Amino acid sequence: MKVAKFGGTSVASAEQIKKVASIVAEDKERKIIVVSAPGKRSSDDTKVTDLLIQLGETLLKGEDTENELQAVLNRYEDIAEGLGLGKEIVATIEADLRERLQFDRNRPGACMDLIKASGEDNNAKLIAAYFQSIGLNATYLNPEDAGLFVSDEPGNAQVLPEAYEHLKALRDRDEIIVFPGFFGYSKEGSLVTFSRGGSDITGSILAAGVKADLYENFTDVDSVFAANPNIIDNPVKIKKMTYREMRELSYAGFSVFHDEALFPAFRNGIPVCVKNTNNPSSSGTMIIAEREYFMNPVIGIAADEGFATIYVRKYLMNREVGFGRKLLHILEDEGLSYEHMPSGIDDTSVILRQEQLTEEIEERVVARIQEELQVDDVYVERDFAMVMIVGEGMHNTIGISSRATAALTRANVNIEMINQGSSEVSLILGIHASDADRTVVELYHEFFGGAEETVQ
């Protein structure tokens, strides 16, 4: 059996939902259908989840919510009308939303999650109703009834191990289950959402729970590309890639698949296929445990901006036992998570996402490093980008970094930092953010120039 997840653009309008229905109807193995909230219908549209966040914020400020509520209801009204469903379903959705708006405002995190999650929840009810109306044997299933238990961290739920035990039972149902993505329930019965884009996570958890033969992730592109199509014209389509390669690329901004979503599928060895709702006959990208590497050691090039570095220098740092621990302890104390820590002999740079580093935190961290570690120099620099060259085939392949650095020389880009773990699955180059696009173009030409399609 297959678990198929349809993202926001795939369920954004009646027309899109009709495509989803025919995809589901054409393959009997598509038994569990996970849906997002209605997403954007065009590039200047607003996702229902974002409308719901505005609704939640208005509620929490204690202001009148009627306009925001209406904006959400309009989307469902349009969809229901386009699908030929009666007024009843919209009335049910309205009643549901009004009830959610009564929730205790003194629990803002839980209140926001309850409102946010209504996007997928109501869409799943609507889609199940449509499936039934066209004769599919389908039913809506609530994550609480299915036993999808998660930790009680609003906006950042983590699945609890026992959830998988409960979800196993869904394998025996002989109807199509329409399941809302993006949220589960705590053991105490609170609704909790995953991080943004988390319907991918729901799909992966369900696929792992029922031990699906395949987890299909339907989106609005034909495949995962070897580089960002907004930077490279018509980039190479990736046919097969490994979980680790996908993980590395989603870390650096490949937004096709949520990085947390890979884990349940990976741990249970469930193959993932990224496919296009608007072009379902295209084979898409398979994400699997292993591929053959000899044809293309490098699978993709990605770049992500918004990094800062804390540079620290102290004479004889290399001999000072505990220096690294004390440095990281200061970051831990300040609630900062770091990404990389390339080091010299007497200096080290801690690279982190700069959105965490407010001016106030920066001042405090710099002062503490100065005082507590008695360093010779410490300062923060911002606006770095991390460019990643990813590919499991790089392991033991000679010459990849020389080709990469030659490409950067041609692009006249200074490398501020180089990082490569011994697994050699990725080579990370720290550069100034303003050089990022140029760098990706040059690296792409170096590693994919002339290639028509990635074959393994």
- Which listed residue (196, 211, 432, 445) binds ligand ASP by CB under 6 A? 196
Contacts of 244 (CB under 8 A, 6+ apart): 392, 423, 425
The CB-of-47 to ligand ASP minimum distance in angstroms stands at: 5
CA dihedral 129, 135, 137, 140 (to 10 degrees): -10
Is residue 226 a contact point for ligand ASP (CB under 6 A)? no
Give the nearest distance from C-beta 138 to ligand ASP in angstroms: 20
Q: Tokens 């909230």 appear where?
A: 37
Does residue 180 touch ligand ASP according to CB under 6 A? Answer: no
Distance CA 404, CA 398 (A): 12
6 part of the interface to ligand ASP, by CB under 6 A:
no
Which residue, 32 or 308, has its beta carbon nearer to ligand ASP?
Answer: 32
In the complex, least distance from residue 264 CB atom to ligand ASP, rounded to whole angstroms: 15
Task: Kindly identify the residues of this chain, within the stretch 118-137, that bind ligand ASP according to CB under 6 A.
Answer: 119
- 228 near ligand ASP, judged by CB under 6 A: no
Q: Does 8 bind ligand ASP (CB under 6 A)?
A: yes
Q: Which is nearer to ligand ASP, 36 or 309 (CB)?
A: 36
Cβ contact 177:141 at 8 Å: yes
Residues 406-435 within binding reach of ligand ASP (CB under 6 A): none
Which residue from 149, 182, 225, 257 is in contact with ligand ASP, where contact means CB under 6 A? 182
Distance CA 443, CA 406 (A): 9
Given a contact cutoff of 8 angstroms between Cβ atoms, the answer to whether 350 and 327 are in contact is yes
Compute the distance between CA of residue 13 and CA of residue 20 in angstroms, rounded to an integer.
11
In this structure, which amino acid lies at residue 437? D
- Could you tell me the two tokens for 135? 């004769």
Q: Is 455 helix (H, G, I), strand (E, B) or coil?
A: coil
Strands (E), 227-281: 237-238, 240-242, 272-276
* Residue 6 assigned ligand-binding role: yes
Name the CA dihedral angle for 118, 123, 125, 130, rounded to a multiple of 10 degrees. Answer: 170
Please identify, among the stretches 15-23, 72-80, 197-205, 409-417, the one whose residues bind ligand ASP according to the rule CB under 6 A: 197-205
Answer yes or no whether residue 300 interacts with ligand ASP by CB under 6 A: no
Neighbours of 209 (CB within 10 A): 25
Is 153 annotated as a binding-site member? no
What backbone torsions phi and psi does residue 133 show, to the nearest 5 degrees?
-65, -25
Residue nearer to ligand ASP on the CB measure, 244 or 258:
258
Q: Is 5 annotated as a binding residue?
A: yes
What is the b/e burial string over 366-399, where b = at least 16 CB atoms within 10 angstroms of the residue's CB? bebbeeebebeebebeeebbbbbbbbbbbeeeee
Q: Is 184 annotated among the ligand-binding residues?
A: no
Residues in contact with ligand ASP, counted by CB under 6 A, come to a total of 13
Is residue 199 close enough to count as binding ligand ASP by CB under 6 A? yes
What residue type is 20 in one-letter code? Answer: V
Helix (H, G, I), strand (E, B) or coil at 78: helix
Contact predicate 301/437, CB 8 Å: no
Among 154, 198, 264, 430, binds ligand ASP (CB under 6 A): 198
Q: Is 213 annotated as a binding residue?
A: no
Residue 164 in tokens = 């998988």
Q: Which is nearer to ligand ASP, 199 or 223 (CB)?
A: 199
Torsion of CA 352, 355, 360, 366, to 10 degrees: 10
At its nearest, how many Å lie between ligand ASP and the CB of residue 275? Answer: 16
Cα separation, 56 vs 347, whole angstroms: 46
Our finding on whether 49 is near ligand ASP (CB under 6 A) is: yes
Contact segment (CB under 6 A) with ligand ASP among 16-24, 154-162, 190-198, 205-213 equals 190-198
Distance CA 183, CA 181 (A): 6
Residue 38 binds ligand ASP, judged by CB under 6 A: no
8 annotated binding-site participant: yes
State the nearest-atom distance from the C-beta of 9 to ligand ASP, in Å.
9
- Return the residue nearest ligand ASP (CB atom): 199
CB of 71 to ligand ASP, least distance (A): 15
Q: Does 47 bind ligand ASP (CB under 6 A)?
A: yes
Q: Which of residues 84-123 bind ligand ASP (CB under 6 A)?
A: 119
Residue 181 in contact with ligand ASP, rule: CB under 6 A: yes
Radius of gyration of the chain (CA): 24
Q: Is 220 annotated as a binding residue?
A: yes
How is residue 155 written in tokens? 């906006």
Residues annotated in a binding site = 5-8, 49, 120, 219-220
Residues annotated in a binding site for ATP = 5-8, 219-220
Please report, as ranges, the residues that interact with ligand ASP according to CB under 6 A: 8, 36-37, 47, 49, 119, 181-182, 196-200
Residues annotated in a binding site for substrate = 49, 120
